[in-house]
């Protein structure tokens, strides 16, 4: 069990982050990392963001593949790694939930644009670095 | 071959980064990510930083293991991933090269403190995200 105080610090860090740093394994077995917009989350448990179906990242991701999200506050020496699995969602319902005004610029065909996908991350466990020490906990 | 312009942009991003974001695989097969100080590098080819021998990260790292470094400039939508291998160096010479005034705070026994190690990353290839597109090149 993690304390409420630690959990709140983690949630605050996630809330303040404009981006999520996603790592998964590429086809050569290297961890591959890139930043995505921090668009929607359910506590520390679930994260959703949008991505291009045609992007290299989507090509790499096998549904259910092991991945991690990283959040960092460089100034305050805080770092949070969430370990879990990643999945590409292409059902209309998931795509509608993430849709925002202005997305037409990237996806001219709207919600049903085949190049518009949702990336879904489900957390299993966490490592939080703060005050020069690491706390590990299950989610 | 990468153009001089792209290489310079990458080098500039590395130079401006106070941290390097290292990902390697943990013992459960998940990509594990954390920030380390950006201490010393040789272009885009090699990176050195210090770490605690007793840290979890060092325990995880198998010499020569596949890893990546990530550099990000959130404001300018720039991201650089370097793919390569990571190694823990504990020879006196490598440890001396990285030693800085004030390290006694962390390593009371000085350069020869057994808890003081050098983490070395050697790059193989790169992916640079800029202007909404990705350039891949060998290092």
**Residues of chain A that touch chain B, judged by Cβ-Cβ distance less than 8 Å:** 18-19, 21, 23-26, 28-35, 56, 66-68, 70, 72, 74, 79, 81, 83, 127, 129, 134
**For chains A and B, what is the number of CB pairs under 8 angstroms?**
81
Q: What is the rounded distance in angstroms from the CA atom of residue B44 to the CA atom of residue B127?
A: 12
Position B55 scores a pLDDT of 75
* Cα separation values, A27 from A32, A58, A82, A120, B19, Å: 10, 12, 22, 20, 27
Q: What is the rounded distance in angstroms from the CA atom of residue B62 to the CA atom of residue B86?
A: 8
> CB-CB: which of A19, A24, A70 is closest to B74?
A19
Position A14 scores a pLDDT of 97
ipTM of this predicted structure = 0.88
A35 contacts in chain B (CB < 8 Å): 72, 74, 79
Q: Do the beta carbons of residue B88 and residue B114 sit within 8 Å?
A: no
User: pLDDT tens for residues A39-97?
Assistant: 999 999 999 999 887 777 777 787 789 999 999 998 898 999 999 999 999 999 999 99
Query: Residue B82: closest CA among chain A residues belongs to which residue?
Result: A32
Q: What is the rounded distance in angstroms from the CA atom of residue B49 to the CA atom of residue B41?
A: 9
Dihedral, CA atoms, A8, A9, A12, A14, nearest 10 degrees?
Answer: -110
Q: Do the beta carbons of residue A32 and residue A110 sit within 8 Å?
A: no
> CB-CB: which of A34, A68, A74 is closest to B79?
A34
Position B12 scores a pLDDT of 97
SS3 B121: strand
User: pLDDT tens for residues B61-110?
Assistant: 877 899 999 999 988 989 999 999 999 999 999 999 999 999 998 899 99
Cβ <8 Å between A70 and B24 = no
Cβ <8 Å between B129 and A83 = no
């Amino acid at each position: 069990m993690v304390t409420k105080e630690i959990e709140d610090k983690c949630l605050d860090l996630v809330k303040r982050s404009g981006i999520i740093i996603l790592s998964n394994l590429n086809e050569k077995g290297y961890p591959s990392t890139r930043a995505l917009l921090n668009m929607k989350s359910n506590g520390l448990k679930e994260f959703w963001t949008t991505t291009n179906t045609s992007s290299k990242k989507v090509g790499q991701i096998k549904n259910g593949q092991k991945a991690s999200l990283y959040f960092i506050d460089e100034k305050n020496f805080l770092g949070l790694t969430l370990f879990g699995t990643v999945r590409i969602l292409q059902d209309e319902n998931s795509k509608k939930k993430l849709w925002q005004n202005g997305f037409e610029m990237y996806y001219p065909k709207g919600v049903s644009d085949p190049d518009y996908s949702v990336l879904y991350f489900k957390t299993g466990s966490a490592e939080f670095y703060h005050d020069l020490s690491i706390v590990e906990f299950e989610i």
